[in-house]
Amino acid sequence: MSPQNPEPVSPRAGEHDEAHGGGLGSRLNWLRAAVLGANDGIVSTAGLVVGVAGATDERSALLTAGLAGLLAGSMSMAAGEYVSVSTQRDSEKAALALEKRELATEPQAELVELTELLEGKGISRDLAREVAEQLTAHDALRAHAEVELGIDPDELTNPWHAAGASFLAFTAGALLPLLAIVLPPAAHRLWITVAAVLTALALCGWSSARMGAAPVSRAVLRNAGGGALAMGVTYAAGTLLGAAGV
């Protein structure tokens, strides 16, 4: 005989594993930098060395072009990420400073604003007021930073970390096509490089989609297709230039 009031069954581990909390945004930011860095490293270096391979099969020329592309690209990615994140961090710090001043000079107006923001999320007016008062009493600046600005004051992005991650990601990605084009015998360089690059881009798309809970097939096709197009265009250009004796 079944019990009248069965106790609720707790979900088993793995049945409800979606990410919650502010850590998701931080993780996705790091994922974005890593994926962009690796993709750029693979595609740009592959396009460069495959283009040169269309014009010449000299290993020294391929190595020189690949290394130059790796160093230029990794430094460019690091510098660009540093500037971008520094600008974002400065904006966040300025917004937090302004919010701090407003809390000091107009606390009641800020309380009303926080109440309205919470009410806009679907909370009833009375409950929103109560929650706003409790959040303000606990940590007013954090409450406004998270609800109003979408900023965690303790987790501002570090531009040096972002630059370093982009540099390493680009370098790791660029090494694959560089090694694939210079290590094999001349007769097999091109197809080995193309196969290695497309495989790496597919894996990169797969892993980024899995970590970001996005459609896998779309990410894989997008990454591999973009790489194939880049290599096709540069190889055609290199072949034409080589045939013209440029």
pLDDT digits (tens, 9 = 90+) for 137-192: 888 888 888 887 888 777 787 888 888 888 999 999 999 999 999 999 988 989 99
**Mind listing the pLDDT tens digit for each residue in 90-148?**
988 888 888 888 888 888 888 888 888 888 888 888 888 888 888 888 888 888 888 87
> Can you tell me which residue has the tokens 């798309």?
205
Is this prediction's pTM over 0.85?
no
CB atoms within 10 A of CB 1: 3
pLDDT in tens, 16-32: 444 444 455 556 666 66
